[in-house]
Amino acid sequence: MLELINYTFFQHALLGSLLASIACGIIGTYIVTRRLVFISGGITHASFGGIGIGLYTGISPILSAALFAVFSAFGVEWLSKHKDMREDSAIAVFWTFGMAVGIIFSFLAPGFTPDLSAYLFGNILTITTTDLWILAILSTLLALFFILFLNPIIYIAFDREFARSQRIPVARFEYILMMFIALTIVSCLRMVGIVLVLSLLTLPQMTANLFTHSFKRIIGLSIGIGFIGCTGGLLLSYQLQVPSGAAIIFFSILIYALCKVGKTLYLCTK
């Protein structure tokens, strides 16, 4: 296995895993704390509409998916707060609309019917230098934003009414954070795909939450746990010759299960 380090594609995969773990560790902690997992799932599937449009028009599917995901995130946020529509209904609208648009336009795309499996299930071994730059820029922006505005973000995550009482522009922060959620989801599509990307945003945080309830510590632990999960999944994928995205999520779930059992046994022996 050590010879894998010498290959450029594996080096890219490791660096991509680290950068994705940073981005997902930061924004995923906000998602889990605010209980936005269902919204994130809706944005994830809505981004498929952008992929279909990108394949049809000939522009980068990742770029069109990012735009579609951001507009969908803003749409969910706006509909759920300004119209007579429940949040889960707004999510369902964009979820189904995005999937329908993606399927229609991908099949209308000129030439052969495109292989959508790479977008649905991902393949981190095909990650490019451009993808790495996107992840690096996103991770840097997320880190800076959370460093500068950590306290307002924590207030909003735990108690929006208290945040308003402190004269924090809650709505503005929520739109910015929804944008970051959408961009993080799209930037990780090549790694694990639409079907599994939500796991990267929740599993490391769930595991970290077994050991601490501190928002800051959950972020730090989530980044480390996420990177271990990605690296272990890559090696498992190579060993078993299975898709890397599924292997990464399987390994991450295994980490969570072992930590959960270990904590339970520890508490029982005290």
Residue 6 pLDDT = 75
| The pLDDT of residue 1 is above 60 | no
pTM: 0.90
> Which of the four pLDDT bands, split at 50, 70 and 90, describes residue 151?
very high
208-233 pLDDT tens trace: 999 998 999 999 999 999 999 999 99
Tokens of 40: 């994130």
- Residue 52: which residues within 8 A CB-CB, separation 6 or more? 101, 102, 103, 104, 105, 106, 109
8-18 pLDDT tens trace: 878 888 899 99
What sign for the dihedral angle of Cα 67, 63, 232, 226? negative
- The CATH number assigned to the domain holding 244 equals 1.10.3470.10
Tokens of 17: 């895993």
66-83 pLDDT tens trace: 999 999 888 888 877 765
CA distances from 26 to 123, 202, 226, 249 (A): 23, 11, 11, 18
97-140 pLDDT tens trace: 888 998 898 888 887 666 677 777 777 777 888 889 999 999 99
Residue 2 pLDDT = 61
Per 3-state DSSP, the chain is made up of helix, strand and coil in percentages (nearest 5) of 85, 0, 15
How many structural domains are present in the chain? 1
Domain that holds residue 84: 2-269
158-171 pLDDT tens trace: 888 888 888 899 98
- Residue 150: which residues within 8 A CB-CB, separation 6 or more? 215, 216
- Residue 267: which residues within 8 A CB-CB, separation 6 or more? none
> Which of the four pLDDT bands, split at 50, 70 and 90, describes residue 58?
confident
C-alpha count within 13 angstroms, C-beta hemisphere, residue 254: 12
Q: Which region among 26-35, 37-46, 178-187 has the lowest average model confidence (pLDDT)?
A: 37-46
Spatial distance between the Cα atoms of 10 and 3, rounded to a whole number of angstroms: 10
